[in-house]
């Protein structure tokens, strides 16, 4: 039966022998570890100095979105007004117009979500990043080369500023960047954030102006359509009057030939009424008919238009559109929106930027650990191999 005490003693002896082996190979272990650590010290010395950082930004707070409430409400009301003004069109045309106007209205609303989306889109085109690099990067400003080489360097430096979207565990965006030093990195990043924000403001301002112009054009088109309908009614009425006068003139001539001056004659011919359900118009007498002709020809133009069916309703629609102040109201609402360099489409703080420049120290520790483990393993294996050889 095995003695457990004996095994315990063997374990202690083996552990002691391992420590003794490592101590005997201490200089080799130190030398190998130093060889591994040396590149970690040399690399930062030969490589260009750099500063690495990360900036977190999130969706703008509700206070920013509230500043756009007037213009969003104005555009929504304008959209409803346009749909109401066009309600007299055919059902198919009206449904199509309502759908298009609803989509335009939704696209024109400025919210914290749309501002964030616009900011990400503007940042990812890298125009503002490259402009900041050209102005503030010491490496770019001191570089002497051809235009093509400078463009390549500019792009390479700009690509060191990358936007990282939210992950499953985080709901914020992050900008990771690298610059020559902390001061330069902060200057470039601050300018990028401000210029991208300004680009977002300009983009949304242009969208609102386009919407405003579309509404103004819609009003003009509505007026043009109403004026065209009015003119069409005038022409139709004029044609009706001319046709009426021509008919009356024919009836007056017939009445005169039959000597019907003021209504039916005292003894009308018997055969005149035979086979007729209604009395002919000329039985009214040529004087009465000529009087009606005279009234039609001398009726004042401004009075004649009120005899046109639907004319007054068209005039009311025209005056309603002309009296509308929605364009002026939209202009006022646009002027009140913070669509300038004061807009902050996302929420961030430069002073809370994370410093990620400690990679060189971590690299030294990693290399030292790897060198220590490999050298220790080599010393132990070498000792075991020699013991095995000596036993043989």
What residues have CB less than 8 Å from 272, skipping those under 6 apart? Answer: 258, 280
Q: Per-residue pLDDT averaged across 260-288, rounded?
A: 65
Could you tell me which of 343, 348, 329 has the C-alpha nearest to residue 67? Answer: 343
pLDDT at 306 over 80: no
* Confidence at residue 32, expressed as pLDDT on a 0 to 100 scale: 81
List the single range of 48-52, 186-190, 254-258, 342-346 with lowest mean pLDDT. 48-52
- In this structure, the answer to whether residues 32 and 80 fall within a common structural domain is no
Per the structure, the count of domains in the chain is 2
Q: Per-residue pLDDT averaged across 248-275, rounded?
A: 70
Q: Is 342 helix (H, G, I), strand (E, B) or coil?
A: coil
Could you tell me which of 222, 215, 201, 218 has the C-alpha nearest to residue 75? Answer: 215
* Confidence at residue 234, expressed as pLDDT on a 0 to 100 scale: 87
- In this structure, the answer to whether residues 130 and 12 fall within a common structural domain is no
- In this structure, the answer to whether residues 45 and 123 fall within a common structural domain is no
Select the more confidently predicted residue: 368 or 333: 333
The average confidence (pLDDT) of the chain is: 81
Alpha helix (H) ranges present in 258-325? 286-298, 301-304, 311-322
- In this structure, the answer to whether residues 304 and 169 fall within a common structural domain is yes
Model confidence over 94-105: pLDDT tens digits? Answer: 444 455 554 544
Range ranked top by mean pLDDT from 11-25, 78-92, 93-107, 262-276: 11-25
Q: Per-residue pLDDT averaged across 182-189, rounded?
A: 92
Q: If pLDDT is split at 50, 70 and 90, which confidence band does 192 have?
A: very high
* Confidence at residue 11, expressed as pLDDT on a 0 to 100 scale: 45
* Confidence at residue 261, expressed as pLDDT on a 0 to 100 scale: 85
DSSP letters along 225-250, please? Answer: HHHHHHHHHHHHHHHHHHHHHHHHHH
- In this structure, the answer to whether residues 20 and 117 fall within a common structural domain is no
Whether 371 is in a domain gets the answer no
CA distance 252 to 282: 6
Q: Is 177 helix (H, G, I), strand (E, B) or coil?
A: strand
Q: Per-residue pLDDT averaged across 225-239, rounded?
A: 91
- In this structure, the answer to whether residues 159 and 245 fall within a common structural domain is yes
Whether 343 is in a domain gets the answer yes
Domain that includes residue 157, residue range = 51-356
Select the more confidently predicted residue: 253 or 354: 253
CB atoms < 10 A from the CB of 243, how many?
A: 10
Whether 392 is in a domain gets the answer no
Q: If pLDDT is split at 50, 70 and 90, which confidence band does 346 have?
A: very high
Share of the chain above pLDDT 70, in %: 79
- Whether 374 and 32 have beta carbons less than 8 Å apart is answered as yes
- In this structure, the answer to whether residues 12 and 99 fall within a common structural domain is no
Select the more confidently predicted residue: 151 or 33: 151
* Confidence at residue 117, expressed as pLDDT on a 0 to 100 scale: 95
CA distance 331 to 325: 10
- In this structure, the answer to whether residues 42 and 65 fall within a common structural domain is no
* Confidence at residue 302, expressed as pLDDT on a 0 to 100 scale: 64
Model confidence over 112-126: pLDDT tens digits? Answer: 999 999 999 999 999
Whether 124 is in a domain gets the answer yes
- In this structure, the answer to whether residues 187 and 302 fall within a common structural domain is yes
CA distance 242 to 297: 9
- In this structure, the answer to whether residues 158 and 105 fall within a common structural domain is yes
Q: If pLDDT is split at 50, 70 and 90, which confidence band does 241 have?
A: confident
pLDDT at 358 over 60: no
CA distance 76 to 326: 11
Whether 369 is in a domain gets the answer no
- Whether 380 and 17 have beta carbons less than 8 Å apart is answered as no
Q: Per-residue pLDDT averaged across 212-240, rounded?
A: 91
Q: Per-residue pLDDT averaged across 130-142, rounded?
A: 94
pLDDT at 25 over 90: no
Q: Is the dihedral angle over the CA atoms 331, 337, 341, 345 positive or is it negative?
A: negative
* Confidence at residue 264, expressed as pLDDT on a 0 to 100 scale: 67
Whether 365 is in a domain gets the answer no
- In this structure, the answer to whether residues 351 and 273 fall within a common structural domain is yes
- In this structure, the answer to whether residues 201 and 324 fall within a common structural domain is yes
CA distance 53 to 180: 11
Q: What is the dihedral of CA 309, 314, 315, 317, to 10 degrees?
A: 150
Query: Which burial class, exposed, middle or buried, applies to 127 when counting CB atoms under 10 A from its CB (0-12, 13-18, 19+)?
Result: middle
Q: Is 50 helix (H, G, I), strand (E, B) or coil?
A: coil
CA distance 352 to 331: 38
Helices then strands, counting H and E runs in the chain, come out as 15, 5
Q: Is the dihedral angle over the CA atoms 236, 247, 289, 272 positive or is it negative?
A: negative
pLDDT at 85 over 80: no
pLDDT at 13 over 60: no
What residues have CB less than 8 Å from 113, skipping those under 6 apart? Answer: 59
Query: Which burial class, exposed, middle or buried, applies to 78 when counting CB atoms under 10 A from its CB (0-12, 13-18, 19+)?
Result: buried
Could you tell me which of 123, 121, 83, 74 has the C-alpha nearest to residue 101? Answer: 83
Whether 364 is in a domain gets the answer no
Q: If pLDDT is split at 50, 70 and 90, which confidence band does 357 have?
A: low
Q: Per-residue pLDDT averaged across 80-104, rounded?
A: 52
Whether 348 is in a domain gets the answer yes
Model's pTM, two decimal places?
0.67
Q: Is 143 helix (H, G, I), strand (E, B) or coil?
A: coil
pLDDT at 87 over 70: no
């Amino acid at each position: 039966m095995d003695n457990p005490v004996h095994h315990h003693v063997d374990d202690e002896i083996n552990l002691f022998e391992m420590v003794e082996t490592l101590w005997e190979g201490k200089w080799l272990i130190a030398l190998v570890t130093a060889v591994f650590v040396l590149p970690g010290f040399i690399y930062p010395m030969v490589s260009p100095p750099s500063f690495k950082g990360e900036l977190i930004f999130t969706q703008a707070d509700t206070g920013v979105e509230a500043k756009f409430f007037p213009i969003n409400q104005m555009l929504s009301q304008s959209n409803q007004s346009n749909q109401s003004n066009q309600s007299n069109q055919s059902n198919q045309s009206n449904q199509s117009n309502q759908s298009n106007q609803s989509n335009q209205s939704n696209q024109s609303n400025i919210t914290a979500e749309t501002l964030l989306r616009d900011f990400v889109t503007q940042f990812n085109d890298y125009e503002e990043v490259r402009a900041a690099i050209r102005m503030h990067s010491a490496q770019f400003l001191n570089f002497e080369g051809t235009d093509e080489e400078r463009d390549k360097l500019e792009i390479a430096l700009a690509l060191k500023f990358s936007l990282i979207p939210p992950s499953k565990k985080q709901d914020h965006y992050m900008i990771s960047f690298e610059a020559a030093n902390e001061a330069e990195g902060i200057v470039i990043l601050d300018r990028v954030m401000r210029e991208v924000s300004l680009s977002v403001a300009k983009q949304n301002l242009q969208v609102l102006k386009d919407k405003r112009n579309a509404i103004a054009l819609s009003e003009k088109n509505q007026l043009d359509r109403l004026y065209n309908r009015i003119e069409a009614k005038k022409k139709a009425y004029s044609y009706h009057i001319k046709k009426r006068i021509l008919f009356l003139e024919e009836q007056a001539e017939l009445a005169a030939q039959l000597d019907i001056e003021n209504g039916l004659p005292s003894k009308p011919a018997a055969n005149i009424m035979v086979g007729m359900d209604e009395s002919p118009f000329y039985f009214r007498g040529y004087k009465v008919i000529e009087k009606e002709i005279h009234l039609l020809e001398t009726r004042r133009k401004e009075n004649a238009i009120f005899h046109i069916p639907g004319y007054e309703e068209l005039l009311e629609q025209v005056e309603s559109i002309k009296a509308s102040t929605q364009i002026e109201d939209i202009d006022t609402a646009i002027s009140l929106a913070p669509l300038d360099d004061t807009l902050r489409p996302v929420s961030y703080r430069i002073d809370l930027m994370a410093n990620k420049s400690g990679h060189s120290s971590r690299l030294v520790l990693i290399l030292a650990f790897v060198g220590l483990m490999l050298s220790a393993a080599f010393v132990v294996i070498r000792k075991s191999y020699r013991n095995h050889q000596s036993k043989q």
